[in-house]
Amino acid sequence: MAIRNIREIGDPVLNKKCKEVTEMTQRIRDLIGDMFDTMYEANGVGLAAPQVGILKRIVVIDTTGEDPLVLINPRIVESDGEQTGLEGCLSVPGKSGNVTRPNHVKAVYLDENMNECEIEGEELLARAICHELDHLEGELYVDKVEGNLMDNSEIQETEEG
């Protein structure tokens, strides 16, 4: 497995709609392995295939460091509640902004064996699912930020007083 180059905001691949995965292949298995390596290396909690330049509906998420999740062709089927909090993206390095998301979502997806699965998430997991699924539509969180997009250094200064 390998670390892939993370595409950054301004790269047109991040604004394209991704295609469904129709069959599991060794190439896609390798891609998924590389996506996990790339996400962990960058200390991220989620990564979508377009972020490594592949326009397929695949995301990896791990909000705890112990719950690796592969979602293929994911679709949100239920969402409720509301949360507003700071969000960042590996494709927008060094920045964060406040985004309002549902507090609870239920999604259906295929796992790496193309079996139909379902997941429910709250808080950070719900936020990560929404954020990563947006990538598959070619959408970045920066277009949903309330107020200003902030430099992480400014935020640290604020937290430190």
Residues known to be catalytic: 132
User: Is residue 89 a contact residue for Zn ion (CB under 5 A)?
Assistant: yes
Piece in contact with Zn ion (CB under 5 A), picked from 13-21, 64-72, 81-89, 142-150: 81-89
The first and second tokens of residue 35, run together, are: 């996506």
DSSP E strands in 112-159: the ranges are 116-122, 146-151
Give the residue closest to Zn ion by C-beta.
89
Are 100 and 86 within 8 A, CB to CB?
no
Q: Is 6 helix (H, G, I), strand (E, B) or coil?
A: coil
- Measured over the CA atoms of residue 116, residue 45, residue 49 and residue 3, the dihedral's sign is negative
Angle at 5 between CA 27 and CA 95, to 5 degrees: 130
User: Is residue 39 a contact residue for Zn ion (CB under 5 A)?
Assistant: no
Q: Which is nearer to Zn ion, 32 or 89 (CB)?
A: 89
| Min CB(116)–Zn ion separation in Å | 25
| Min CB(90)–Zn ion separation in Å | 6
Count residues near Zn ion (CB under 5 A).
1
Which residues here bind Zn ion, judged by CB under 5 A? Answer: 89
